[in-house]
Amino acid sequence: MFRNLRITIFIYYILTALSLMGILYYFISIIGTQNIYLLFSILFLLTVFTAIIISKLSIDPLLEHVKNLQNLSTETLHELNLPISTIKTNISMLKKALLSEKDLKRVSRIESACDMLQERYNELDYMIKLQSSNIKHEAILLDELLQKRVDFLKHIYPDTKFTLSLEPTPITNDTIGLSKVIDNLLDNAVKYSLNIHKVDIRLQEQTLYIKDYGRGMDEVELLKIFDRYYQSNENMRGFGIGLSMVKRFCDANNIALNFKSTPNIGTTVILKFKEN
């Protein structure tokens, strides 16, 4: 689709340029250079008219494509809501009826997987609202949000010890977007840990510190970490887009983001929030 659009625009641009050159030559041969201001006025109006047509030719198919994607995402989101709700309801009923410890553990694993699916649902809903600029900031207790995200990640990383030192911190921000930022940073902290499966989380004086005891980074790596698709360890899972997303969110929401890292010792991520 976009290849054909590019060719069409290119051909139209060439034809337009040749047409304007022909018109210029015609007017010069007819009226000469005595009415040069009139000539340039006519050419200016023709150029503006041509630019409008080219821009419309360029943008309309893109707008239609984006609109189709948004409709598909919205419809998919709507269709996902019912099965997720059904699974969660039936899991709750099953847990009340089961007595076997083994069966309860199996149901708990299904419940954790359903919670992860719910998280993806929330993220898709968030991305749709983000595209339509329908994101609202609200009052948040950052300490409670951190505790909630850690409790969720404990199901995914049961072997990792999360130590928390949190003081009450009210802020105003985008809850879902900030949750994604926290999840990305905690996920990286776990992912890049070495033999010490421990992550320290400290919140004080409007500042969040997330410290791991992993492989760390040197100064050269620190300069690249926000590059999209960059990964300091190519053997790690993922696509290397997490930190670029984190930085975009922090820049858009006036959150100061800093990294302190030492090779083979660990990394500390620092987020400084503005006071309400």
Q: Is residue 86 domain-shared with residue 172, that is, in the same domain?
A: no
Q: Is residue 142 domain-shared with residue 267, that is, in the same domain?
A: yes
CA gap 20, 17 in Å, rounded: 5
Q: Is residue 257 domain-shared with residue 213, that is, in the same domain?
A: yes
Q: Is residue 147 domain-shared with residue 239, that is, in the same domain?
A: yes
DSSP state letters, 185-208: HHHHHHHTB-S--EEEEEEETTEE
- Specify the pLDDT at position 234: 44
CA gap 104, 13 in Å, rounded: 67
Q: 43, 20 in Cβ contact below 8 A?
A: yes
Query: Which tens digit of pLDDT belongs to each residue from 216-243?
Result: 888 877 777 776 444 444 444 433 346 8
Q: Taking the model in full, what pTM does it have?
A: 0.58
Q: Is residue 101 domain-shared with residue 24, that is, in the same domain?
A: yes
- pLDDT band (50, 70, 90) for residue 110: confident
- Specify the pLDDT at position 132: 60
CA gap 240, 126 in Å, rounded: 21
- For the chain, give the mean pLDDT: 78
- Specify the pLDDT at position 240: 38
Give the total number of structural domains in the chain.
Answer: 2
Task: Name the more confident of 261 and 74.
Answer: 261
**Gyration radius of the chain over CA positions:** 28
Among 119, 135, 151, the domain-final residue is 135
- pLDDT band (50, 70, 90) for residue 193: confident
Residue with tokens 């060719």: 7
Task: Name the more confident of 261 and 33.
Answer: 261
At position 104, the amino acid (one-letter code) is L
CA gap 191, 64 in Å, rounded: 40
CA gap 18, 1 in Å, rounded: 26
Among 105, 135, 165, the domain-final residue is 135
Q: Is residue 159 domain-shared with residue 241, that is, in the same domain?
A: yes
- Specify the pLDDT at position 217: 84
Q: Is residue 263 domain-shared with residue 145, that is, in the same domain?
A: yes
Tally of CB atoms within 10 A around 180: 21
CA gap 225, 67 in Å, rounded: 33
Tell me if residue 66 falls in helix, strand or coil: helix
Task: Name the more confident of 96 and 6.
Answer: 96
Please give the biggest Cα pair distance in the chain.
99
Q: Is residue 129 domain-shared with residue 149, that is, in the same domain?
A: no
Q: Is residue 125 domain-shared with residue 40, that is, in the same domain?
A: yes
CA gap 221, 201 in Å, rounded: 23
Q: What CATH number did the domain enclosing 143 receive?
A: 3.30.565.10
Q: Is residue 185 domain-shared with residue 214, that is, in the same domain?
A: yes
Query: Which tens digit of pLDDT belongs to each residue from 126-146?
Result: 666 666 656 678 899 999 999
Which residues lie closer than 8 Å to 199 by C-beta, 6 or more apart?
160, 161, 162, 163, 186, 189, 190, 193, 210, 211, 212
Q: Is residue 146 domain-shared with residue 119, that is, in the same domain?
A: no
Task: Name the more confident of 27 and 170.
Answer: 170
- Specify the pLDDT at position 236: 41
Query: Which tens digit of pLDDT belongs to each residue from 80-102?
Result: 777 877 887 888 888 888 888 88
Q: Is residue 237 domain-shared with residue 220, that is, in the same domain?
A: yes
CA angle 37, 39, 42 (to 5 degrees): 110
Q: Which residues pair with 261 in a beta bridge?
A: 267
CA gap 110, 96 in Å, rounded: 15
Among 99, 116, 135, the domain-final residue is 135
Owning domain of residue 10: 1-135
